[in-house]
């Protein structure tokens, strides 16, 4: 594939990204021209933000960046970006094809925040809608509420014109659920204690056997962006923990946990073990650390250290007495500075005027979670 220079990249992704995902009003605009003002635009996301294209020409971060530099509202651009991943059946941690709960039903969570408008919306445990991030945006834009859950969230989506599908499984996600069932429930029922142990251990075994990408067990995409004017927004969307108890909601749709945006300070979002993040409300904490003057990286490291201190249960510790799970934060401040940090080594994605990149996160701990 021909390597794009910077000007080509901006022009190509602007047009291609818009063709894939942009609102109709953007068509017909000329090529995007970057004219530096106060802030260098940037989009920061989890690694899957620069991986999946759903058969289109551009990834999430490329699409969002092209739309932002083309003048779109920052949140519209981010939602268009994550929709690509939600709709791509190959990402089994988000939207359509996301790994289902313990009963084989796909339940999705999402939230978003608009810095300048100071609006937020979320949906949790919603079934039958491939693009929960768009529903979350409509909760923010058209209701007086910040979070709709379960059947109510689905009814709201139906009322807003979304197609409600009976089943969001793909062949791949259904087969993986069947394999999990076969391993955890061979005689239909085990006693509750054995079942709980088998549940956790079997999930990790599927990861160790290479059947599930470790990043997809707790899944999720978070994507945050800023434009020339310094307008900051963010969105997080997920199918949540694989094989969760039906109704389990993780950190992703919860403001302050899966995402927090303060338009004057910065944005932070998360992927990884949602319970660890929920307990510590890390995204809010990270933004508050930045308000106190911390850099994105230092703010994220402070949150990881807090999670480590608060992880004391033996079942959550590895042989070295350290957390046995992954947790990642993607952070962007109001100056356009960004960082990706994680409990253990991982990657994240960015898109700036240099084009899309997948970068290593800054890890708090060495080795692997399960060592
Ligand atoms: N971080 C995604 C979840 O735990 O649901």
Q: What is the tens place of the pLDDT at every residue in 238-275? A: 999 888 889 999 999 999 999 999 999 999 999 999 99
Same domain for 156 and 20: no
pTM for the structure as a whole = 0.84
Average pLDDT of the residues of the chain: 88
Q: ∠ CA(19), CA(139), CA(67), 5° rounding?
A: 25
Task: Tell me: do 129 and 197 sit in the same domain.
Answer: yes
- Tally the C-alpha atoms within 13 A of residue 135's C-alpha that lie toward its C-beta: 36
Same domain, 248 and 312: yes
For the segment 355-369, the average pLDDT, to the nearest whole number, is 96
Q: Are residues 115 and 236 in the same domain?
A: yes
For the question of residue 220 being annotated catalytic, the response is yes
Residue tagged active-site, from 220, 236, 237, 238: 220
Distance between Cα 189 and ligand 1 center (Å): 26
Residues 20 and 137 in one domain: no
| Confidence at residue 207, expressed as pLDDT on a 0 to 100 scale | 76
pLDDT > 70? residue 365: yes
Does residue 29 register a pLDDT over 70? Answer: no
Which of 37-41, 92-96, 364-368 has the lowest average pLDDT? 37-41
- 339 and 202 inside one domain: yes
Question: Does residue 98's CB lie within 6 angstroms of at least one atom of ligand 1?
Answer: no
CATH number where 128 lies: 3.60.20.30
In a domain, 83, yes or no: yes
Q: Are residues 13 and 86 in the same domain?
A: no
Domain membership flag for residue 184? yes
Q: How many domains does the chain fold into?
A: 2
Structural domain for 154, as ranges: 42-363
What ligand 1 atom has the least distance to the C-alpha of 274? Answer: 4
370 in a structural domain:
no
**Residue 205 pLDDT grade (very low, low, confident, very high; cuts 50, 70, 90):** confident
Contact 283, 274 (CB under 8 A): no
Same domain for 25 and 71, yes or no, is no
Judgement on whether residues 1 and 144 belong to the same structural domain of the protein: no
pLDDT digits (tens, 9 = 90+) for 77-128: 999 999 999 999 999 989 998 999 988 999 999 999 999 999 999 999 999 9
User: Do the domain assignments include residue 368?
Assistant: no
pLDDT of residue 185: 73
Rg (CA), the chain: 20
Contacts of 227 (CB under 8 A, 6+ apart): 39, 41, 68, 69, 74
- In this structure, the residue with its CA closest to atom 1 of ligand 1 is 274
* Cα 347 to middle of ligand 1, angstroms: 17
Q: Whose CA is nearest to atom 4 of ligand 1?
A: 274
Q: What is the dihedral of CA 242, 245, 246, 250, to 10 degrees?
A: -70
Mean pLDDT of 349-368: 97
Which of 85, 241, 325, 330 has most ligand 1 atoms within 8 Å of CB, for mutation? Answer: 241
Q: Judge if 59 and 83 occupy the same domain.
A: yes
C-alpha pair distances (Å), 191 with each of 102, 104, 200, 206, 243:
16, 20, 15, 22, 18
Distance in angstroms (rounded) separating the CA atoms of residues 97 and 238: 11
Question: What whole-number distance in Å separates Cα of residue 107 and Cα of residue 127?
Answer: 5
What are 288's two structure tokens? 């508050």
Where does residue 317 fall: left (phi above 0), alpha (psi -120 to 50 degrees), or beta otherwise?
A: beta
Give CA–CA dist 164/74, Å, rounded: 27
For residue 277, the ligand 1 atom closest to its alpha carbon is 1
Q: Does ligand 1 have an atom closer than 6 angstroms to the CB of 274?
A: yes
Q: Is residue 279 part of a domain?
A: yes
**pLDDT for residue 96:** 94
Nearest to 307 by CA among 288, 324, 293: 324
Confidence grade of residue 195 (pLDDT, cut at 50, 70, 90): low
- Measured by CA distance, the residue closest to atom 5 of ligand 1 is 240
Based on the fold, state whether residues 19 and 57 are members of the same structural domain: no
7 C-alpha to ligand 1 centroid (Å): 37
Q: State the distance from the centre of ligand 1 to the C-alpha of 63, rounded, in angstroms.
A: 24
Tens of pLDDT along 288-338?
999 999 999 999 999 999 999 999 999 899 999 999 999 999 999 999 999
Residues 139 and 17 placed together within one structural domain of the fold = no
With a 6 Å cutoff on the Cβ, whether 120 touches ligand 1 is no
371 falls within a domain: no
Q: Is residue 307 part of a domain?
A: yes
Instruction: Establish whether residue 257 lines the binding site of ligand 1, counting it when its CB lies within 6 angstroms of any ligand atom.
Output: no
| Residue 259 domain-assigned (yes or no) | yes
Cα 289 to ligand 1 centroid, rounded to whole Å: 23
């Amino acid at each position: 594939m021909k390597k794009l220079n910077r000007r080509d990249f901006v022009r190509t992704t602007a047009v291609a990204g818009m063709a894939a995902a942009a609102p109709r009003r953007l068509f017909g605009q000329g090529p995007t021209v970057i004219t530096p003002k106060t802030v260098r635009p940037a989009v920061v996301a989890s690694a899957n933000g620069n991986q999946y294209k759903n058969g289109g020409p551009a990834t999430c971060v490329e699409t969002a960046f092209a739309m932002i530099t083309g003048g779109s509202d920052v949140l519209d651009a981010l939602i268009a970006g994550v929709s690509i991943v939600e709709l791509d059946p190959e990402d089994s941690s988000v939207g359509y094809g996301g790994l289902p709960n313990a009963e084989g039903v796909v339940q999705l969570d999402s939230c978003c925040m608009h810095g300048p408008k100071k609006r937020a919306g979320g949906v949790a445990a919603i079934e039958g809608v491939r693009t929960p991030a768009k529903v979350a945006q409509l909760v923010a834009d058209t209701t007086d509420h910040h979070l709709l859950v379960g059947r109510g969230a689905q009814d709201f989506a139906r009322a807003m014109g979304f197609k409600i599908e009976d089943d969001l499984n793909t062949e791949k996600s259904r087969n993986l659920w069947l394999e999990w069932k076969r391993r955890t429930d061979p005689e239909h029922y085990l006693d509750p204690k054995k079942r709980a142990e088998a549940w956790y251990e079997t999930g990790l075994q599927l990861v160790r056997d290479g059947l599930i990408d470790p990043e997809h067990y707790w899944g999720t995409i978070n994507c945050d962006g800023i434009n020339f004017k310094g307008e900051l927004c963010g969105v997080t969307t997920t199918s949540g923990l694989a094989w969760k108890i039906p109704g389990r909601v993780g950190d992703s749709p919860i403001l302050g946990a899966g995402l927090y945006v303060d338009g004057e300070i910065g944005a932070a979002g998360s992927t990884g073990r949602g319970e660890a993040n929920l307990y510590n409300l890390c995204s809010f904490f990270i933004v508050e650390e930045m308000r106190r003057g911390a850099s994105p990286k230092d703010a994220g490291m402070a949150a990881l250290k807090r999670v480590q201190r608060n992880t004391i249960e033996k079942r959550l510790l590895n042989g070295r007495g350290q957390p046995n799970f992954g947790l990642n934060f993607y952070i962007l401040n109001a100056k356009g500075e960004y960082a990706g940090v994680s409990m253990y080594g991982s990657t994240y994605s960015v898109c700036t005027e240099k084009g899309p990149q997948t970068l290593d996160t800054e890890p708090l701990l060495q080795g692997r979670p399960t060592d």
